[in-house]
Chains A and B, each alone.
Chain A
Amino acid sequence: MQTLKIICPNGHLGFAPLRPESFWLGVDAKPDYVAADSGSDDVGPVPLGSDTSTSPQSWQRHDLEQMLLASRKLGVPMIIGSAGDTGSNSRVDLFVKIISELAQKHGMAKFRLGYFYSEVDKEYLRAKIRSGDPVTGLDGFADLTEAELDATERVVAMAGVHPFVELLRQGADVIIGGRSSDAAVFAAPAIHHGFPADNAYYLGKVLECASFCAEPYGGKETVLGEVSHEDVKVTAMYPPQRCTVASVAGHAMYERSNPYEEFFAGGKLDMTHCRYEQFDERTTRITGSRFIADKKTRVKLEGSGKVGERYVGICGIRDPYTIANVDQVIDWAKAKVRERFGDTGYELHYNVYGRDGVMGELEPLRDKPGHELCLMVQGVAPTCEMAEELTMIGLRQMFYARLPDVKGTAGSVSFPLDEVLHASAAYRWTLNHTVAVDDNMELFKTHMVDIGN
């Protein structure tokens, strides 16, 4: 095999549907694989903690159907990583079920479906901590303690290429992965077919977000990557888009603090000496990337822990005097919450839109609020009943805030709804860590089943 071609139709399968026009143009280019990652920690800790997807199932099913139809039509493998946003076991099972239903719906001939899980048993990590093998914190997180582990609902490990390569070796036609590095779903087939890791990992890096590496800006369009022993090429499939030197080089820095390197289970991709050339109008050619293998593999872990049940309330303010004194209004309501529930055992948050609701303490213009404000109140407490009452006091008492010189004495805020709304429970990231493993496969159990007739 001289080159290997992979199309990626979506940088986060399910989060918004793929765009069929460029996808089917990509299919017409006769790729050797159809692949996409379906997860991200961008969606916050709630989906992992509550074991749900943030993506609607109909969108997940839409993209899986398009990709499965293309994969079976071409007779080439399809690979999905980080099933269902979080890559937890239930999300893998969900995607396996959807694939199996789609195969039945379309009366597909028999194919082999490989899948693997990424959830990590908390007792495995406890044993690591107790044996003095630290679970190391990343980006400002302290090393994992047993107390923090106890506060954690669910942990997933970020797979590198290894479980994908293993399932390809076993002859999988479709792979559904648990939590994985985005790039691994593309790097794995390249490595499986003997292409150098230097190019394979770059191929993964450039394809992972689909058309985010193309310009003009526009997501959810298909891009095609081609790896050889010498280089990587990437081409935009959506006719108005092009992969340019600027758009491809620019993509290397997206969502990461260091544009020159990216870490995977088993090593790092070094892009310091990458060279970018415009190969044809819509294609950029990349050479010079390097993969530096680790002596000992450390696998990244993500964990989420429940903080409490949550309600949300919304109100507005139009009186300029009240706007200027909005902190006093909030303090009044907070004092009423304290009278009822004391100082601790709950969380109460106010986002003041029109002042600093988006940026909080980073907002340079927080002393220049707009002519009207929207306040969002969030109350978090151990039970739904308490969260509801807490949020209701925190919201409704703003109506009664006593400002000394206010002209409007019939209510300090406006209510678009005379109620508080039950929201998802609040969670927080508890694990953003790495753990050392002896065997690259030890956290990722693989399975293979036959699907279709």
Chain B
Amino acid sequence: MRTHKLHELAKTIRSKNAGVNKITFDIIFRDRENYERVKRSKALSRESVAALYRIEPQRISDFVEYDPGYAIKFTIYRLRPSGCAGDGDIFGAQQYAPLLDLEVAA
């Protein structure tokens, strides 16, 4: 089976604050086909993203397959709320990069 990098299959891969204590990640596909393909592959799951970001699965507050938007999204708790001194990403906007090269067997 061929593998693809997630960025080859997704139209948008982004992260952003969801409130002051969470960061939410959206992986959005251009069409149903690619969306279903990635869904079926199980490359994105609570467990896989916890492993990728090296966090406990409990830090993932939500993991949603959002059919109307051909999107998979998950949300993690921050260790400290946004904008505390030392926070390198107040908007949470640059946390998605490790997803780009995620291998998808599909």
Residues in chain A within 8 A of chain B (CB atoms):
41-46, 138-141, 217, 246, 249-250, 252-259, 274, 276, 302, 307, 310, 347, 349, 351, 357-365, 378, 380, 426-429, 432
Query: With a CB–CB cut-off of 8 A, which chain A residues contact B19?
Result: 41, 138-139, 256-257, 432
| B24–A256 CB distance below 8 A | yes
A243 CB to closest chain B CB (Å) equals: 14
Assembly CA distance A79 to B84 (angstroms): 32
The SS class assigned to the B binding surface is loop
| A349–B85 CB distance below 8 A | yes
Neighbour of A259 across the interface among B69, B81, B88, B90, CB < 8 A: B69
Residues in chain B within 8 A of chain A (CB atoms):
12, 16-22, 24, 26, 28, 30, 52-55, 61-62, 64, 66, 68-71, 73, 75, 77, 79-91, 94-95, 97-98
| B88–A432 CB distance below 8 A | no
Query: With a CB–CB cut-off of 8 A, which chain A residues contact B17?
Result: 41-42, 255
Query: With a CB–CB cut-off of 8 A, which chain B residues contact A253?
Result: 24, 26, 64, 66, 69, 71, 73
B66 CB to closest chain A CB (Å) equals: 5
Query: With a CB–CB cut-off of 8 A, which chain A residues contact B89?
Result: 358-359
Q: Give 4 A-B pairs besides A253-B71, A359-B98 with Cβ atoms closer than 8 angstroms.
A: A44-B87, A361-B54, A426-B85, A432-B20
| B16–A43 CB distance below 8 A | no
B85 CB to closest chain A CB (Å) equals: 4
Assembly CA distance A81 to B30 (angstroms): 34
| B88–A140 CB distance below 8 A | no
Q: Which 3 A-B pairs have the closest CB atoms?
A: A44-B83, A349-B86, A257-B75
| B81–A276 CB distance below 8 A | no
Query: With a CB–CB cut-off of 8 A, which chain A residues contact B85?
Result: 307, 310, 347, 349, 378, 380, 426, 428
Tell whether A46 pairs with B88 under 8 Å between CB atoms, given A258-B64, A274-B68, A364-B52. no
Assembly CA distance A205 to B20 (angstroms): 19
Nearest residue (CB) in A for B62 is A257
Query: With a CB–CB cut-off of 8 A, which chain A residues contact B98?
Result: 359, 362-365
A285 CB to closest chain B CB (Å) equals: 14
Neighbour of A255 across the interface among B12, B16, B21, B71, CB < 8 A: B16
Tell whether A357 pairs with B53 under 8 Å between CB atoms, given A41-B20, A250-B69, A258-B64. no
Query: With a CB–CB cut-off of 8 A, which chain B residues contact A359?
Result: 88-89, 94-95, 97-98
Assembly CA distance A314 to B15 (angstroms): 27
A346 CB to closest chain B CB (Å) equals: 10
Q: Which of A253, A351, A380 has the most CB of B within 10 A?
A: A253
Query: With a CB–CB cut-off of 8 A, which chain B residues contact A246?
Result: 28, 30, 69-70
Tell whether A140 pairs with B30 under 8 Å between CB atoms, given A307-B85, A358-B89, A362-B54. no
Assembly CA distance A41 to B82 (angstroms): 9
Nearest residue (CB) in A for B17 is A42
Nearest residue (CB) in A for B70 is A246
Q: Which of B68, B70, B80 has the most CB of A within 10 A?
A: B68
| A259–B21 CB distance below 8 A | no
Tell whether A140 pairs with B83 under 8 Å between CB atoms, given A250-B28, A254-B16. no
Q: Which of B62, B84, B85 has the most CB of A within 10 A?
A: B85
| A427–B83 CB distance below 8 A | yes
Tell whether A378 pairs with B70 under 8 Å between CB atoms, given A257-B62, A258-B64, A364-B54. no
Nearest residue (CB) in B for A356 is B88
B94 CB to closest chain A CB (Å) equals: 5
Question: What are 23 A-B residue pairs whose CB atoms fall within 8 Å in the complex?
Answer: A44-B83, A46-B83, A138-B21, A139-B22, A246-B70, A250-B26, A252-B68, A253-B24, A253-B64, A255-B17, A257-B73, A259-B66, A259-B69, A276-B68, A307-B85, A349-B86, A362-B54, A362-B98, A364-B98, A365-B98, A428-B85, A429-B82, A432-B19
Assembly CA distance A311 to B5 (angstroms): 42
A384 CB to closest chain B CB (Å) equals: 15
